Amino acid sequence: MAVINITKDNFEEKVLNAEGKVLLDFWATWCGPCRMIAPIVEEIASETPGLTVGKINVDEEMELAVQFGVVSIPMLVVLEKGKIVNKSVGYAPKAELLKLL
């Protein structure tokens, strides 16, 4: 499945109403570790059936960043039925990110 750009306008539909788990990647264009983790997140999205993967640009979606308490990026959050079940802050290798799911 392709990575979805999440905004406050599509958050309810794409995240809260999603079937199965959702992986959210909070990132910014100026963030080096975010650029390093991006291809891993895209791999996970294409290799994991039933997983919804969304990217949230913290500079453009401050409201969502505040809602999730983002203080450092990259921050990955796993949700199930709209509830946070796991999260990770900073760069991590693919094996560590898969453990979040």
Q: Could you give the residue numbers annotated as active site?
A: 31, 34
Asked whether 32 and 74 are in contact (CB, 8 A), the reply is no
Strands (E), the chain: 4-5, 21-27, 52-57, 75-80, 83-89
Phi first, then psi, for residue 44 (nearest 5°) are -60, -40
Listed residue (61, 87, 60, 62) closest to 74, CA to CA: 87
